[in-house]
Amino acid sequence: MKLNNSRIIKDKKGESMSLTLAQITEQLRELKVVPVIALERAVDILPLADTLANNGLPVAEITFRSSAAAEAIRLLRQQRPDFLIAAGTVLNAEQVVAAKNSGADFVVTPGLNPKIVQLCQDLDFPITPGVNNPMAIEAALDIGIETVKFFPAEASGGVKMIKALLGPYSQLGIMPTGGIGMQNIKEYLAIPNVLACGGSWFVEKNLINAKNWQEIGRLTKDVVEWVNS
């Protein structure tokens, strides 16, 4: 599997431009799965990214759960420019700016913080905030957000809850994350509004710390083949 053309697009002057949310959404639909990654060492992102890409998944959500996140995003953008990069677990303005300056394509947040959304909109920086109930969805719609993360997915009612919410909110594009694995990912992806599912079971921290790229590659290949079968 490959990305649609290149991550980098050019304006009329030949200068690099950021991906739009529509372009990001298109790539997510093609990829179907987003690895949710927590790194202790920024340098690990390059062999990890190569392992993911070589097994059909040139995308990463690098979470700000560690101080290595911004540097990992910067390294990945510089060294693997065609990768689709999300900055995950973004909780404050400082992290938004760090993610933007490091070269992330978009931001993913666990909840809906209107101040963070406004900052991203001011920076022309696509954001996918987390929601799991009608109140949060309506708050998102009120500030112009229709692409959301459904989190924590399984704990919030999973597939049944998403289907129920899509009754009144059929315009949503959804990226479920939390409690998703090989046993249920196809159920989520069968919902037309689901763009892709986030998951960490094939990029667990202990495998990354052990530099077990072979096992990560095997698991990645398995999930890519499974969601496309």
For the annotated catalytic residues, the residue numbers are 61, 149
- What DSSP character marks residue 83? S
* DSSP line for 121-152: HHTT--EE-EE-SHHHHHHHHHTT--EEEETT
DSSP alpha helices (H): ranges in the chain?
21-31, 45-54, 69-79, 93-102, 114-122, 134-142, 158-165, 185-189, 205-209, 213-227
Any residues with CB less than 8 A from the CB of 25 and at least 6 apart, and which? 147, 173, 195
Query: Distance between CA 122 and CA 139 in Å, rounded?
Result: 18
